[in-house]
Amino acid sequence: MERRLGRGGGGRSSRASRRRISIGLVAALELAALGGPSRLRAGAAEPSLGASEPTSLLVPSSVGAEPSPVSAEATSVSAGPSASPEAPSAAPLAPDFREIDALVSQAVRGGKTPGAVVVVGRRDGVLFQRAYGDKMVVPVRREMTLDTIFDLASLTKPLVVGTLAAWLLERGELRLSDEVSKYLPEFSGQGKEAVTVEQLLLHTSGLPPSNPLAEYRQGRERARARAIGSVLEAYPGRRFIYSDVGYIVLGALIERITGEGLDQTAERVLWRPLGMTDTQYCRAVCSSPRVAPTELARGRRSSPIRGEVQDPRAYYLGGVAGHAGLFSTAADLSRFARMLLGQGQLGEQRVLSAAAERAFTEPRRVPGGLRALGWDVSSHYSHARGLSLSDSAYGHGGYTGTSLWIDPELDLFVLVLSNRNHPFGTGNVLKLQGTIADAAVHALQRASDESAAPAALGRLLLGPDADSPPARLPPSGG
């Protein structure tokens, strides 16, 4: 069955090509690792064959400050063990991700975003990660770094609510076919008794995209009550309406089942077991200097907004909500993506059973497209998936300029983090995110096609104790 609607087949890799990426690439990368890591400076001009260190490009200033070079902080595949006497004298090249450098550098120069962090990886580790441009340009300029903490916006939906729903389903504390009113009796009237948990997760409940912001300004409890009391715009199951309200309701439902806040459950069930030490909701202000600011705004503790959620509804809900509010880093989200590619397991730590992970991520047909439980698969929101990921790919984006797409068939994830709305709310990275996903697949395809490795020599090393959670850092405020 065609699982991507409204897309032509010309841009997709053939099934045979995808097998070459996922199987042949392993041998190519293991051989390439013997030659040591490639360290191309981000944003540098593409060198000719045999060229030495490329020249750094400058990012033009958009706010009157002196231009700064695109960040040189980058990491590639770590070098593997020394080759044995039987190894060939010249190893194939590792995947060449310079197309990503060119794409992001062009977007930064064009004012699409002040900076970004891009990671490409697979189940057993990171293949490419790089920081570009600046994380702050107002009131002072600060360079983007790999450990920058981003406001993830709507990536909160699958990373917290979707995953916790899958965890509760596995434990038998929740069923997709259950009416929402079973857990939230106040979610009733005007036909809402027919809305199911699955419909909320798939955005087919009939709830509106949002409710008036004025309904959030009288305290968290009243704001949640107003969201739960929202009137349906369509009969349940008849229309796909992407709904923040639906995920606010889901957050309240999960808290009702667990008896604790979303952040507390996520910390206990997800973040701590996976070693996601920089992932949190900011109930007050996250004071870490690593937090990337978003846009200029009145009525906030700081302008530009920094260390508190940009989304106004999540802000009035106290910073913790089902639809937005999560902050995290590239390293933490890479661990999360690897857990899903590992069918619910990262290293020795299992978060979801393989069956629960499949139920969480398998495509489900909705009016006009395909969704998963919290994830996008193929819809008019699927800009960041590009054209080259396989039909099994799923992902999500966030208003602030974030996206994560995971492709189990290619054993691949592509993570793009930016604060594109800093400082004036005018940046746009939707096209960039999709072209980065395509560039990642193309780089792996080229490496696979060019490799004729007779055998896998050595083992691709991904850094010391890649699967061991790091020590928990103290909270960064709030």
pLDDT digit string, tens, across residues 271-282: 999 999 999 999
pLDDT above 90 for 453: no
pLDDT above 60 for 84: no
Q: Is the pTM of this model over 0.85?
A: no
| Candidate from 94-98, 172-176, 322-326, 398-402 with smallest mean pLDDT | 94-98
Distance CA 277, CA 97 (A): 28
pLDDT of residue 448: 86
Give the pLDDT band of residue 82 (cuts 50, 70, 90): very low
Closest CA to 371 of 280, 265, 246: 246
Please compute the mean of the pLDDT values over residues 147-167 and round it to a whole number: 98
| Candidate from 242-256, 389-403, 436-450 with smallest mean pLDDT | 436-450
Dihedral pair phi/psi, residue 424, rounded to 5°: -105, 5
Answer for the pair 320, 131: CB distance below 8 angstroms, yes or no. Answer: no
Distance CA 445, CA 15 (A): 12
**More confident site: 99 or 26:** 99
Instruction: Give the end-to-end CA distance of the chain in Å, rounded to a whole number.
Output: 48
Give the pLDDT band of residue 75 (cuts 50, 70, 90): low
